[in-house]
Amino acid sequence: MTFDVVIPSTGRQSLPALLAGLSGTCGGPGRVIVVDDRGPEAGGPIEVGHPPDVRPRLHLLRGTGAGPAAARNVGWRAARGEWVAFLDDDVVPSATWTADLAADLAAANRAVAAVQGQVRVPRPRDRRATDWERSVAGLEDAGWITADLAVRRAALADVGGFDERFPRAYREDADLGLRLVDAGWRIGRGRRHVIHPTGTADRWVSVRKQAGNADDVLMDALHGPGWRERAGAPRGRMRRHAAITASGALALAAGVARRPFLSAVAAVGWLGGTAELAAARIAPGPRTLDEVLTMAVTSVLIPPAATFHRLRGLARRRSRLADAGRAPQPRRRPSRPPAAVLLDRDGTLVVDVPYNGDPGRVAPMPGAATAVARLREIGVPVGVVSNQSGVARGLVSPGQLQAVNARVEELLGRFDAWAICPHGPGDGCSCRKPAPGLVLDAADQLGVDPSACVVIGDIAADIAAAEAVGARGILVPNGRTRAEEVAAAPEVAPDLVAAVELAL
C-alpha cells in the first residue's frame, strides 16, 4: 500500500510549515506534490522552505490558476501511489499524521474509495469566537472535505477526478464525494487529524464568500435538490436572502413609482429580515464594537450579494452544463504550447522493425526530422516513451537497445528524456503502455506536469497511457494501426508533422 501527498497552493506562508510537518516520520509518502496554483502571472518559484526529509520526494508542478479542483487534478495525475492524500496548504498535520494515515489506509477495504481525516479548528479561550472563526470551525463537521482527504487513485480515475467547473474551494469536495458514492464506492473516516488555524480575515470576507451560491446552482443541476442532505451540508439561508433582497428592491421601486404605502411595507420586510440576520450573527459572537459594526454592515450586503451570485449561476447554467451529464467536462485544448511532447519510438519516430537490435536498420519515419526540429525550434521539450518487450523476451539485449536508441539520436538529434519499458506483457509492471508509468517517468525527468504534456503514438496503447494521466493523446496511424483504434482516438493526424502542429 503506497500513497502520495498532493497540496495545491497559492503561496500561503503556511506552506513551508506544512511541509516541515511531513518530515521526520517513518513510512511517509512516496511523493509530496505541490501544485503551484498562483496562475501564469506568478513571479518566481513558490516558497517551500527547507524540509530536509521531504525535499528528495518533493515535486513542484505548475497549475493553471483555475482553482483548487483543477490543481488537485494536476497533482493526482502526477501521483504514482495507490492512494492520493490531499491536504490544504494552510493545515498543520499532527506529529504522527503520516503513520496515522498509513494505518487508516491499511484498515480500508477494497470497497472504500476515500478516507476522510479529522479537521480540528482551535477556538479562542479568552473570548467568544467571531463570525469568521465560527465559519472556519464549521469545517470540523463537514462530511467530505479536501483539507485532509485520502482517495484511491483508481477511484479518482473511475469518476474522472475533480470537476474543474468549480473554480473556488467550495463544493468541489461534496461533488466528488457524491460522484464516488453514486459510482458504488464507500467513504470512510479515519483517526488521523490536522489542525486548521482560523487565520485572519478582513471585515468583508463574509460578503465575498457569497460567490459560492453560484456553485450551488451547479450542484443542484448535477445532483438534484436533495444533495445537501446526502453530502451532510447545511441548508443555508438562500431563500431568506432572496426574500430580503426582493423586499428591498420592491421598496425602492415603489418609492420611485410614488407608491408610499407599498414602499413602506416592503421596507419593513427588508428591515426586519436584515435585522434578524444581523442579530443571528451578533448573538453568539464576542459582541465587541468592531464585531457588531462589521456584522451590521455586512448583513445589509450579504442578501443582495448572495442573490446576485445565485442569479449569475442560473444565467450560466445552460452553458456550464452543455456537456455536463454527471461527470467533469472534457479537457479543453490548451491555448499555449504543451509542457512537453512525448513520442512513441517504433512506428512513430522510426520505421517499426519488430524487436530491432541492429542500429543499421533504424530509419526515420517520413517527416520525423521536420516535426522534431519544429518542437526544438520553439523550445518545447521532446521525449521518447517506448515499450521494448524484446528485452524481456531475450530477443534484444540491453546493449543492443542502447545502441539503437543512440542511432535514433544520431539521425534525429538528442532527446530531452527517454522512458523505456523493457518488460513483457505478462510482467504486471506499471510502466508498459497503456499503463501511465512511461509518461510519468518522462514528465518527471523533464520536471513538467504530466497532464500538460502531449503524447503522440501510432496505437491505442499510446493514447491510453496519455489519458491515464490526463494528458492529451494524438494518434498518427500507420499500416499496423487498427481501424477501431482510429475510430476511438480523440484526435488523429495524418502524419507526424501534422500531429506536432495539432499539438501546438
- Active-site positions read 344, 346
Residue recorded with cell 524540509: 51
In sequence order, the β-bridge partners of residue 114 are 151, 187
Contact 433, 464 (CB under 8 A): yes
* Pairing mode of beta strands 148-152, 112-120: antiparallel
Which candidate, 275, 292, 175, 305, places its Cα nearest to that of 228? 175
- The CA distances from residue 340 to 258, 279, 372, in Å, are 66, 56, 12
Half-sphere exposure of 79 (CA within 13 A, CB side): 33
- What stretches of 321-412 show up as alpha helix (H) in DSSP? 368-377, 398-412
Which candidate, 378, 375, 384, places its Cα nearest to that of 457? 384
Determine the 3-state secondary structure of 394 from DSSP.
coil
**What does the alpha-carbon distance between residue 91 and residue 387 come to, in Å, rounded to a whole number?**
42
Determine the 3-state secondary structure of 332 from DSSP.
coil
In sequence order, the β-bridge partners of residue 419 are 385
Which candidate, 5, 91, 74, places its Cα nearest to that of 37? 74
Give the burial string for 283-314 (b: 16+ CB within 10 Å, else e): eebbeeeebeebbbebbbebbbbbbbbbeebe
Contact 54, 102 (CB under 8 A): no
Contact 357, 390 (CB under 8 A): yes
Q: Residues with Cβ < 8 Å from 153, sequence gap 6 or more?
A: 76, 79, 81, 82, 83, 84
* Pairing mode of beta strands 83-87, 148-152: antiparallel
Which candidate, 476, 169, 173, places its Cα nearest to that of 344? 476
* Category of 470 on φ-ψ map: left (φ > 0), alpha (ψ -120 to 50) or beta: left
Q: What are phi and psi of 70, to 5 degrees?
A: -65, -40
